[in-house]
C-alpha cells in the first residue's frame, strides 16, 4: 500500500545508473575496450545531476556496497517499485552518449548500455521497462541502434536529452523518429544534456541553479520546434514524452503558440491544426519534479487549464530528490477518474503496456 | 472615452520607428554620416518585426505620406494616445544598435536616436515619455550614453532587447544598471534582438513563428539570470520592466525558481530571499501581447496566481497587431482597485510619473 491506497501506479521516470564504465566492457568490442583503457575517456562529460548536489539523490538511495544512487536494482525495487506499489516502472537511463564527440565510440557505448540494460535490469525484474540510449548527435547511427536493440520487448522508448545540437523539429532527426515509429517506441525527451551549446539563448549561465530552473524553457523551445517544424505531420503516429521538465508551463505555452500560429500560420502551411491540438494528441508529461505552487488550488487550476485528462503521467524521478514527503509526489487531491488516469492509465495507453 | 470608460490609462508600450537612417544624419558627426553614405550600412540588421508580417502592424498605422508604421506622431496621437484616453504613453524605440558590430558606430547611433527622440517626440507631445537606446553590447559605452542623455526628464527607461550576448544577470552589464540607478531610470527588457546567438538554447529555429512563440522562453531565462546572479542584490533600487514578453508564464516560473532555490540556495548565498520575492519587488510586465487563453476564467486564475496586484502594466504594443478588438486588450473583467492598478497606477508608481 502506498499513499494512493489500493491504486497501482505506473512510474514513468526511474533512473538506472551505470556503476562504472567498466560495467560496459563485456558489451564493447575489444577495440573500444582498448581505447577506453589507453585514452583519457572515462565516460560522457556531462553533469546534469552533479553527484554531490542535494537534488541529485535521496540520501537513502546510495548503495551501501558502493556505486552511484540508482545503480542498485535491489534498492530500486524496494524504494521505488515496492514503495509506490508500481505495476510497471520505466527506466530512463541518462548515460549521455550524445555528448561523446567520437560518434563511433558513442554508438558503440549506446549498443553496450542497451545490452547492459537488458541483462542487468529487464531480465531481472519483470515490472521494469526501459529506454533505448542512442547517439542522437548522429541520427543515422541512432536509427541503426533503434533497429538493432528496439526489437527487445522490454524497450518502450528512445530517450533523448532535451538539450540538443539542433531543435528537435529539425528534419535531421527524422531517421530517429522514423525508427521509433517503425518499432512502436515512444520518443522520451529528458531533462539535461550537454550538446556544446550554451544553456540559454543568451549564452552561458553561471550557476547550476540557473541551469536547473531554466531547463523548463529548453523544453518549451523543443515543443515549439517539434510542432511548428512539422514532426507530427511527417510522423502522424509519433508519441513524445516530456520527462522531468515540469508541466505548469504547459497552459501558457499552448495559449501562446496557438495565438502566434493564428497570426503567422501561412508561413507554416503544413501545421494544419492548432498547435495545442498536436500537443494534446502526441505529447505526454511526467509529473515529477512538479514546479510546485504552495497552494494546491493553483496546481489544480493548472491541471484544468491543460484541458486534457490524458497528458500527465505519474513519476517519482527516483533516485533524484525532488520532493520530501510521499504526499508531495502529487500534492493535490484529485477525483476519479482523473487520479487513476494520471497514476497509471495515461501511461498504460501511451506506452501500450499490459 | 475608451472601452475603459472614464479611466485614463498609462500605455507602457508604444513604438516610435525611425522613418529612415537619414533622419539621424542631423544628429550624427560628419565622420559617421560619411561612413554611412559610403558603406553598405543601412541600419541594424535585425528583423524582430518583419515589415510584411501581419503581426507587425495594424493596417491603419501605415502613414499615408510614407514611412513605416509607428513613424508618424500624428497617427500615434490619435490611434493610441487619444483612442485609449492615455494620460501618458511610454515609447520603446526598437532601433537595435545593439546588433551593430562596429561598437563606435553603435554608440554614435544611440546618441543620435536619443536626440532625435527628444526633438521629434518628447518636445512635441507632452503625454509621451521615452526609453534610451544604448549600445548594450558594450556596457561602458552604454553607461556613457545613459549619463549623457539620461538627464532629460522625458526619458524614464533604458531599453534593452531580450535577446542578448550574455544573460543579463552577468556582471558585465553592471555599468548599465549602475547608470540606470544613478539617473533613476527603469531598465526595460523588450521582445526581440539579434545578438548573433541562435534563437533557442538548442540552435537555430527555422521559422519566424517559432522565434515569436519562443521569445517567452528567452524572457524566462533572463529573469532567472538576473535574480540568481544577484543583480538586485548589487542594485537594490533597480527596477526592471519586461516588455512584450507575455505574462502567463510568470506563475510557473516563480514556482519553479523558488523550488530549485530551496534545494540549491547554498550555491548562491547572495540570493537571500525567495526568487519570486525579488521578482515581485523589482519587476513589472506589460500586458500586451497577452498569451491569451480562450477562457477568461483561466486568465483570471493566472493573474491571481501571480500573487501581486502590482506587477502588470497596461500596454497596447502600438502599432503591432496583437489583438483585434479593443476589448481584447484586457480580455477579462477585473474589479477595482485591480483594474485601475493595471490600467495606470502600477505604471505611475514604477515609472514615477506625474
CB–CB of B197 and A202 under 8 A? yes
Q: Is A244:B223 a contact under the CB 8 Å cutoff?
A: no
Q: Give the separation between CA A9 and CA A84, rounded to whole angstroms.
A: 7
State whether the Cα torsion A163-A165-A168-A173 is positive or negative: negative
- Of the candidates B207, B220, B321, the beta carbon closest to that of A268 is on B207
Q: What CA–CA distances, in Å, run from A98 to A95, A144, A317, B9?
A: 9, 15, 21, 52
Mean pLDDT by runs of 10 across the 354 residues of chain A is 89 97 97 95 88 88 92 97 97 96 97 98 98 98 98 97 98 98 98 94 95 96 98 98 97 96 93 97 96 90 97 96 88 94 98 93
pLDDT in tens, A121-179: 999 999 999 999 999 999 999 999 999 999 999 999 999 999 999 999 999 999 999 99
Q: What are phi and psi of B259, to 5 degrees?
A: -65, -45
Residue-wise pLDDT tens digits, B286-307: 999 998 788 999 999 999 999 9
Whole-angstrom Cα distance, residue A239 to residue A351?
A: 9
Interface size A-B, in CB pairs within 8 Å, comes to 240
Contact B304, A305 (CB under 8 A): no
pLDDT score of B94: 95
- Best mutation target among B260, B265, B304 (most A Cβ atoms within 10 Å) is B260
C-alpha A97/C-alpha A44 separation (Å) is 6
Closest partner residue to B259 among A198, A251, A292, by Cβ?
Answer: A292
Chain B residues with CB-CB distance to A294 below 8 A: 255
Whether A68 and A51 have beta carbons less than 8 Å apart is answered as yes
Distance from CA of A93 to the nearest CA of B (A): 21
Q: Do A166 and B203 touch (CB under 8 A)?
A: yes
Burial status of residue A205 (CB atoms within 10 A of its CB: 0-12, 13-18, 19 or more): buried
Residue keyed to cell 529487464? A122
Sequential DSSP letters for B131-183: EEE--TTSHHHHHHHHHHHTTSTTEEEEEEESS-SS-TTSGGGHHHHHHHHHT
Q: Scanning the structure block, which residue is given the C-alpha cell 532629460?
A: B152
The DSSP secondary structure of B74-111, one letter per residue, reads HHHIIIIIITTTEEEEEE-----GGG-SSHHHHHHHHH
ipTM of the complex: 0.95
- ω into residue A337 within 30 of 0, thus cis? yes
For residue B10, what is its C-alpha cell?
498609462
Task: Kindly give the parts of chain B with pLDDT less than 50.
Answer: none
Contact A248 B251 (CB under 8 A): yes
Give the nearest partner residue to B249 out of A197, A209, A252, using CB atoms.
Answer: A252
Cell (9 digits) for A233: 505531420
For residue A192, which of A160, A169, A222, A165 has the smallest C-alpha distance?
Answer: A160
| φ/ψ (deg, to 5) at A48 | -60, -40
Nearest CA in chain B to A228: B210
Q: Which pLDDT does position A143 carry in this prediction?
A: 98
Cβ contacts of A251 on chain B, cutoff 8 Å: 248, 293, 298
Q: CA–CA separation, B167 vs B193, rounded Å?
A: 13
Cβ-Cβ contacts under 8 Å, B294 against chain A: 255
Mutation target among B55, B194, B221, B257 for the A interface, most CBs of A within 10 A: B221
User: What is the C-alpha separation between A225 and A253, in angstroms, rounded?
Assistant: 12
Residue B1: the pLDDT is 67
Please tell me which residue of chain B has the smallest CA distance to A224: B210
Contact A202 B209 (CB under 8 A): no
Residues of B in contact with A308 (CB under 8 A): none
pLDDT at B310: 97
Residue B158: closest CA among B137, B174, B136, B127: B136
Amino acid at each position: 500500500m502506498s499513499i494512493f491506497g489500493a491504486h497501482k501506479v505506473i512510474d514513468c521516470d526511474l533512473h538506472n545508473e551505470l556503476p562504472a564504465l567498466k560495467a560496459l566492457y563485456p558489451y564493447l568490442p575489444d577495440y573500444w575496450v582498448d581505447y577506453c583503457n589507453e585514452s583519457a575517456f572515462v565516460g560522457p562529460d556531462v553533469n546534469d545531476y552533479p553527484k554531490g548536489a542535494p537534488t541529485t539523490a535521496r540520501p537513502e538511495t546510495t548503495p551501501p556496497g558502493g556505486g552511484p544512487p540508482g545503480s542498485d536494482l535491489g534498492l530500486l525495487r524496494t524504494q521505488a517499485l515496492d514503495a509506490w506499489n508500481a505495476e510497471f516502472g520505466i527506466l530512463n537511463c541518462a548515460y549521455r552518449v550524445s555528448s561523446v564527440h567520437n560518434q563511433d565510440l558513442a554508438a558503440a557505448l549506446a549498443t553496450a548500455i542497451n545490452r547492459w540494460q537488458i541483462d542487468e535490469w529487464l531480465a531481472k525484474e519483470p515490472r521494469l521497462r526501459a529506454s533505448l540510449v542512442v547517439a542522437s548527435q548522429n541520427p543515422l547511427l541512432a536509427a541503426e541502434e533503434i533497429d538493432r536493440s528496439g526489437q527487445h520487448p522490454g524497450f518502450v522508448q528512445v530517450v533523448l536529452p532535451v538539450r540538443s545540437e539542433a531543435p528537435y523539429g529539425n528534419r535531421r532527426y527524422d531517421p530517429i523518429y522514423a525508427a521509433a515509429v517503425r518499432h512502436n517506441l515512444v520518443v522520451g525527451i529528458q531533462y539535461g544534456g550537454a550538446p556544446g551549446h550554451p544553456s540559454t539563448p543568451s549564452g552561458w549561465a553561471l550557476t547550476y541553479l540557473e541551469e536547473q530552473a531554466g531547463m523548463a524553457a529548453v523544453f518549451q523551445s523543443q515543443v515549439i520546434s517539434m510542432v511548428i517544424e512539422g514532426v507530427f505531420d511527417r510522423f502522424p503516429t509519433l508519441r513524445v514524452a516530456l520527462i522531468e521538465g515540469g508541466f505548469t508551463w504547459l497552459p501558457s505555452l499552448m495559449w501562446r503558440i496557438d495565438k502566434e500560429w493564428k497570426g503567422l500560420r501561412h508561413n507554416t502551411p503544413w501545421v494544419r491544426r492548432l498547435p495545442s491540438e498536436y500537443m494534446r494528441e502526441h505529447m505526454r508529461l511526467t509529473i515529477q519534479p512538479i514546479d510546485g505552487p504552495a497552494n494546491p488550488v493553483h496546481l489544480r487550476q493548472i491541471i484544468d487549464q491543460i484541458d486534457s485528462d490524458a497528458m500527465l503521467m505519474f513519476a517519482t524521478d527516483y533516485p533524484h530528490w525532488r520532493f520530501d514527503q510521499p504526499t508531495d509526489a502529487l500534492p493535490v487531491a484529485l477525483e476519479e477518474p482523473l487520479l487513476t488516469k494520471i497514476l497509471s492509465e495515461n501511461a498504460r495507453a501511451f506506452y501500450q503496456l499490459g
